[in-house]
A and B are shown apart, each in its own frame.
Chain A
Amino acid sequence: MERDERSYRIALTADRYVNPEPDGLDGLGVLAEAGWGVIQLPAEDYPAAVADRILAEVAEQVQEFHRHGYDLVLVGENDKLAGALAAVGVAVPDQVVPASAAGLRAFLDARPLPAALGPRGHAVGPASAAGHPAARDARE
């Protein structure tokens, strides 16, 4: 398997940071710039049954990333996420409720290398993060 450009880093992200109000924090912009993938959590105006269905799907996807050693974080809050993740045997990942773009970026930059990259930054799995700054740093 050849390397591709994935980062092995995924942020479960509350909708308010993906679709911010005009005066809100642009979390998606920060995550994109930092090279993180995003799994969007249900918006606050979704009916409960719709949100529950979507969270169940999110949890299935998270479980797959978790078992392959991708780094997962929670950006923002969601009251029902813990239950959905528990149903697939995954704990709520480390969380940040950012007050500023700088705070979010600092949290992301402080994350350890994803387990999928192995102790020296090389991918342990189907593909490696050739373009990921953390992987490059670990090899240098």
Chain B
Amino acid sequence: MGVAFVAHCLLNQNSKVGEGAHCAGVYSPVIDVLRAKGWRIEQMPCPELAFSGLNRFWGVREQYDTVAYRRHCRRLAVAVADVVSLRAEQGEDIVLVGIEGSPSMGVRITSSDPERGGRPRWPEGTDEHTGGEGIFIEELRGELERRGIGFPRVVGETHALAGHDEMAQQAALEDTLDG
């Protein structure tokens, strides 16, 4: 098997933005699949938790895409890239499990709304989801490229998206793990 670098919140839903936790602690629909298939788990840090804290508002890329936040994400990415390098040198197969819809941890879908700001009053279900990577994932990609390490296969957990289908999610995860 190999090593799965997972978004922090997949092991710790307490890190989620308020009202965002989907379960008490460990998000088993992903973690159980990884463990059943014999993948080693490496938890990545939650960039938003350390930067904006537990009382942060739900945010989109434009709110986080500042010089200071990117510097913070680069610092975290260096630490993750250190471990990716270590496992790659050991010949391990590597995958990255992100969070679709996240402004930081999205791997194919992130959140974007150039107009969002000021007093929070947007309704639930606004269409901020859009194709692309989150800011931390971009910085991790850049750090791995600087080291000459290929970007790993990726899959994104979709529980934050409208139309989340757990069976489809599990199939996508297993396809990614199987390479």
Contacts and interface: CB of A to CB of B under 8 A. Distances in A.
A, B assembled together: yes
Given A32-B28, A64-B53, A6 B13 contact: yes
A6 B12 CA distance: 9
Interface residues of A, number: 43
Contacts of B79: 50, 53-54, 57
Q: Which of A4, A31, A60 has the most CB of B within 10 A?
A: A4
Contact of B21 (A6, A34, A53, A70): A6
A64 B23 CA distance: 20
A10 B40 CA distance: 21
Interface residues of B, number: 36
Contacts, number: 126
Interface of A: 1-10, 18-19, 28, 31-32, 34-40, 43, 45-47, 50, 53-54, 57-58, 60-61, 64-65, 68, 70, 125-127, 129, 131-132
Interface of B: 8, 11-16, 18-26, 28, 31, 35, 40-43, 45-46, 49-50, 53-55, 76, 78-79, 82-83, 86
